[in-house]
Structure formats: structure tokens, C-alpha cells
Amino acid sequence: MAKRHAFNSLEFHDEAHKENLTELKSLLSETELNVNGMNVRMGDTFGCAAIPNQSEKAKNEIKEAIKIAEDLGARALHIMSGVTEYNQTSIKTFVSNLKFALDNSKILILIEPVCEEQLPGYFLKNIDQAAAIINKIDHPRLKIMFDCYHIYRESGDLVKNFADHADKIGHIQIAAAENRAEPFPGALDYSDILPEFKRLGYKGAFGCEYRPSSSTEGGLAWRDPFFKMENRE
């Protein structure tokens, strides 16, 4: 479906953990679709890398995810922190597990702030917390997953937040501010925002992580202005 509707790459949550990897690799090769990234196992706690009493489980799941991601040729792996209190113990646990991921991989490692509205109690809530973790570890392959919906809801102005942390951002996801639906112009107008991200140095893909108002294919008209923009360029 992604190929049929003119996408040139894709990303996963943790679906790849449940698939036959030989068949999945064959399908990716057949469709010539690159994988921008994938998640570690999400589970009931949406990852567990920052949960102090689950560090051994986190490391096992990180090793498993790295193997799958590198086998699929994924550009990045998202290490999910999990639902847990934000305190010094959980920060130390998260830092330790992220270092483990970096030491045992060759790909980009991403962390993502998730707004309280969408996932109450998630460890990383805002971009400043994510930036502080990255500063603490100081590794060139550790970056922020900049989900525009989450950043907007929790931290405000997208362009300002991007500019403030541009050197730390490894991937961008988009959605409307209204109901996290298709990114048609509304409170967020991506026809203005995405060129600004590019001007500020972003060269990666834009992941379409939104909840369709009806069917996915029925709402794809939001892309038309961007196709026209690319043709003019």
C-alpha cells in the first residue's frame, strides 16, 4: 500500500518483531522501500529502558531490536523509555540503557518526547528533557525523534524548538494539531513549517504518523501541495 500510494520509504512501530524477517526483507526489496526506523518492543509500558527494575529486560529487548533493525537495513532504532516517574534513578537507568544500545549498534539511536495528553506518565515528555539526556551521553549517533504533534502539545512553537535543538534532531514525524489527524493546514501549516526545517539543516525523511479521519488512502490529498512543491524544486 505504501508503494502503491507513492511513498518512497516507511517506518515501523514494533511490528517487525512479529513478522517473518525473510519474507519482510523480500517484500522491502521487491517494493524498493527503505526503512527509516523502527521501535524496540513496546509492550504494556511502551518500552522499559528508563524503568529501574526492568534494566535487564530492556537490554535484552534492545539487543533483539538492533539485530532486526540492522538485518532490515533500517536507518534508525527508537529506544522507548516507558511509563515511569521522571527522577534521578530513572534518568540513570535510561542513560545506561542508551549507552548499551550505542555500544552494541552501528545505526542511529532515537529517543522521543511524548506528550502527557497522548500517553500519561511517559518518562520523556518534552524536548528539553530529551536534549538533556543527549547532552549527558554526548554521542553523535544519539538523536531526538521530533514528533511535531507531541512537541507542539508539550513544548509549543515547532520552528523555535527545532531551531533550538537542530543539531540533536535525527527524524521528524508530522500530524495535524487537530485530533492528530491528516496534516492538512490548521493550527499547524506544514507547507510553511517543513521548508523551515529544511532551511535549518534537516535533510531526512518526514514520517507521517497520524490517525486517519477515515481510511488512510482516503485522506492522502494532504500531500498534493508537497508533490507540487517538489516538482517546482
The per-residue pLDDT for 231 is 57
CA angle 209, 40, 190 (to 5 degrees): 20
Q: In sequence order, what DSSP letters do the residues of 75-119 get, joined into one string?
A: SEEE--B-B---SHHHHHHHHHHHHHHHHT-SSEEEE----TTTS
Residues linked to residue 9 through DSSP beta bridges, in sequence order: 34
The set of residues, in sequence order, having a beta carbon less than 8 Å from that of 212 and lying 6+ positions away, is 181, 182, 218, 219
CA distance 203 to 195: 11
Residues 174 and 226: their CA atoms lie apart, in Å, by 13
Task: State the residue range of the domain holding 56.
Answer: 9-232
- Provide the grid cell at 56: 535487564
> Which pLDDT tens digit goes with each residue over 114-171?
999 999 999 999 999 999 999 999 999 999 999 999 999 999 999 999 999 999 999 9
Give a yes or no: residue 72 inside a domain: yes
Q: What is the mean pLDDT of the chain?
A: 95
Residue 2 lies in a domain: no
Evaluate whether residue 102 is within a structural domain: yes
What is the chain's alpha carbon radius of gyration, rounded to the nearest angstrom?
17
The pLDDT confidence band at residue 94, using thresholds 50, 70 and 90, is: very high
The 10s digit of each residue's pLDDT in 111-129 is 999 999 999 999 999 999 9
CATH number at residue 119: 3.20.20.150
Q: Determine the 3-state secondary structure of 1 from DSSP.
A: coil
Indicate the pTM of the whole model. Answer: 0.95
Please provide the distance, in angstroms rounded to a whole number, between the alpha carbons at the two ends of the chain.
26
**CA dihedral (17, 18, 19, 21) positive or negative:** positive
User: Residue 3 falls within a domain, yes or no?
Assistant: no
- Total number of domains constituting the chain: 1
Phi, psi of 174 (to 5 degrees): -125, 155
CA neighbor of 193 nearest in space, from 156, 220, 158: 158
- Whether residue 176 lies inside any domain: the answer is yes
Write the CB contacts of 74 (distance below 8 Å, at least 6 apart in sequence): 35, 36, 37, 38, 68, 107
Q: Are 39 and 7 in contact (CB under 8 A)?
A: no
116 located within any domain: yes
Following CA atoms 112, 113, 116, 119 in sequence, which dihedral angle do they give, to the nearest 10 degrees? 10
Residue 177 resides in a domain: yes
State the pLDDT at residue 226.
Answer: 85
Instruction: Report the C-alpha gap between 74 and 8 in whole angstroms.
Output: 14
User: Strands across the sheet with 108-111, in order?
Assistant: 9-11, 34-39, 76-78, 108-111, 142-147, 169-174, 206-208
Q: Is residue 86 part of a domain?
A: yes
Residues marked active site are found at 112, 209
Q: What share of the chain is helix, strand, coil (3-state, %, to 5)?
A: 45, 15, 40
